[in-house]
Chain A
Amino acid sequence: MSRRSSTYYRNVIRKAKIRTMIGYIIVYSVLCIPLVPIVMMYGWLVIQAFSGRPVTWLIPNQPTLRNWYFLSGPIMKGGTVLYSNFWQLVGNTLLLALGTTGLVVIASSLAGYVISRFDFKGRDPLLKSVVVFHSLPGVLFLIALMYLLNYLGIYGKGFLTLLTVILIKAGLETPMYTWMLKGFFDSVPWELEWAALVDGCTRFQAWRRVVLPMIFPGIAAVSVFAFLSGWGEYLLVYVYITQKEYYTLSVALSDLTFEFLFIDYGMLAAFSLFYMIPAVIFFILTQKYLMTMRIIAYKG
Chain B
Amino acid sequence: MGSLGSLERYFEAIMSYLAPLKSALAYLLLILGTLLRKLLGILRRYGRFIFIAFFLSPFLVSLILVYAVPSALCALMSLTDMGLKFEFTWCRPLWRNYEVIFSGADPRIEEVTYVTILYVGATLLINAGYALILGVFTAYMVKNETLATTIRLLWFLPRMTPVVIYALLWLWFADPHVGPLTIISRWIGLGEVSWILDRPYSQILMIIVNGYVGASWGMVIFASAVRTIPLELFYAAKVDGASDFQVITKIIIPLLKWPILFVTAWQTLSLIGSYVQILTIWNGFAYVSGTEVWSLYSFHKAFEAYEFGYSASLAIVMVIISLGLVALYFKIFGFRRMLEPSRIEV
Q: Write the residues of chain A forming the contact surface with B, with a CB cutoff of 8 angstroms.
A: 19, 23, 27, 30-32, 34-35, 37-42, 44-45, 48, 54-57, 103, 106-108, 110-111, 113-115, 118, 120, 124, 126-133, 135-148, 150-151, 168, 170-172, 174-175, 178-179, 203-204, 228, 231-232, 234-235, 239, 249-251, 253-254, 257-258, 261-262, 265, 268-269, 272, 275-276, 279, 282-283, 287, 290-292, 294-300
B115 sits at the interface (CB 8 A):
no
Given contacts A129-B63, A175-B67, A294-B224, contact A42 B266 (CB under 8 A): no
- 9 of the cross-chain contacts (CB-CB < 8 Å) are A23-B244, A31-B142, A127-B335, A133-B67, A147-B73, A151-B86, A174-B63, A250-B162, A250-B163
Query: Is the CB–CB distance between B302 and A143 below 8 Å?
Result: yes
Residues of B contacting A282 in the complex (Cβ-Cβ under 8 angstroms): 160
Query: Is the CB–CB distance between A257 and B86 below 8 Å?
Result: no
Given contacts A118-B52, A294-B341, contact A138 B70 (CB under 8 A): no
B121 sits at the interface (CB 8 A):
no
Query: Is the CB–CB distance between B70 and A257 below 8 Å?
Result: no
B303 sits at the interface (CB 8 A):
yes
Query: Is the CB–CB distance between A135 and B269 below 8 Å?
Result: yes
B65 sits at the interface (CB 8 A):
yes
Residues of B contacting A275 in the complex (Cβ-Cβ under 8 angstroms): 162, 164-165
B305 CB → nearest A CB, Å: 12
Residues of B contacting A114 in the complex (Cβ-Cβ under 8 angstroms): 51-52, 55-56
Given contacts A250-B164, A272-B168, contact A148 B69 (CB under 8 A): yes
Query: Is the CB–CB distance between A283 and B283 below 8 Å?
Result: no
Query: Is the CB–CB distance between A234 and B169 below 8 Å?
Result: no
Query: Is the CB–CB distance between A142 and B302 below 8 Å?
Result: yes
Query: Is the CB–CB distance between B214 and A300 below 8 Å?
Result: yes
Query: Is the CB–CB distance between B163 and A234 below 8 Å?
Result: yes
Please give the number of chain B residues whose Cβ is less than 8 angstroms from any Cβ of chain A in the complex.
111
Residues of A contacting B3 in the complex (Cβ-Cβ under 8 angstroms): none
Residues of B contacting A251 in the complex (Cβ-Cβ under 8 angstroms): 164
Q: Tally inter-chain residue pairs, CB-CB below 8 A.
A: 288
Residues of B contacting A228 in the complex (Cβ-Cβ under 8 angstroms): 160
Query: Is the CB–CB distance between A168 and B66 below 8 Å?
Result: yes
Residues of A contacting B245 in the complex (Cβ-Cβ under 8 angstroms): 23
Residues of A contacting B176 in the complex (Cβ-Cβ under 8 angstroms): 262
Query: Is the CB–CB distance between A253 and B71 below 8 Å?
Result: no
B264 sits at the interface (CB 8 A):
no
Given contacts A27-B142, A39-B154, contact A254 B280 (CB under 8 A): yes
Tell me the complex Cα distance, A115–B58, Å.
13
Given contacts A139-B273, A253-B164, A294-B341, contact A38 B59 (CB under 8 A): no
Query: Is the CB–CB distance between B169 and A42 below 8 Å?
Result: yes
Residues of A contacting B276 in the complex (Cβ-Cβ under 8 angstroms): 234-235
Closest to B294 in A: A137
Residues of A contacting B59 in the complex (Cβ-Cβ under 8 angstroms): 107-108, 110-111, 174-175, 178
Tell me the complex Cα distance, A140–B274, Å.
12
Residues of A contacting B114 in the complex (Cβ-Cβ under 8 angstroms): none
Tell me the complex Cα distance, A250–B134, Å.
31
Q: Write the residues of chain B forming the contact surface with A, with a CB cutoff of 8 angstroms.
A: 47-49, 51-52, 54-56, 58-63, 65-71, 73-74, 77, 82, 86, 127, 133-134, 137-138, 141-142, 149, 151-165, 167-173, 175-181, 183, 212-214, 216-217, 220-221, 223-224, 243-245, 266-267, 269-270, 272-276, 279-280, 283, 295, 298-299, 302-303, 308, 311-312, 315-316, 318-319, 322-323, 325-326, 330, 335, 338-342
Residues of A contacting B162 in the complex (Cβ-Cβ under 8 angstroms): 231-232, 234, 249-250, 275-276, 279
Tell me the complex Cα distance, A235–B299, Å.
10
Query: Is the CB–CB distance between B82 and A147 below 8 Å?
Result: yes
Which residue of B56, B165, B326, B342 contacts A253 across the interface (Cβ within 8 Å)? B165
Given contacts A137-B319, A140-B318, A296-B339, contact A38 B158 (CB under 8 A): yes
Tell me the complex Cα distance, A190–B9, Å.
71
A182 CB → nearest B CB, Å: 10
A2 CB → nearest B CB, Å: 24
Query: Is the CB–CB distance between B180 and A56 below 8 Å?
Result: yes
Which residue of B161, B164, B275, B341 contacts A139 across the interface (Cβ within 8 Å)? B275
Which residue of B69, B322, B340 contacts A137 across the interface (Cβ within 8 Å)? B322
Tell me the complex Cα distance, A56–B342, Å.
42
A114 CB → nearest B CB, Å: 4
A120 CB → nearest B CB, Å: 5
Query: Is the CB–CB distance between A32 and B52 below 8 Å?
Result: no
Query: Is the CB–CB distance between B164 and A287 below 8 Å?
Result: no
Given contacts A45-B169, A143-B308, A232-B162, contact A174 B134 (CB under 8 A): no
Tell me the complex Cα distance, A54–B172, Å.
10
Which residue of B60, B183, B212, B335 contacts A56 across the interface (Cβ within 8 Å)? B183
Residues of A contacting B178 in the complex (Cβ-Cβ under 8 angstroms): 54-56, 265
Query: Is the CB–CB distance between A35 and B68 below 8 Å?
Result: no
Residues of B contacting A23 in the complex (Cβ-Cβ under 8 angstroms): 141, 244-245
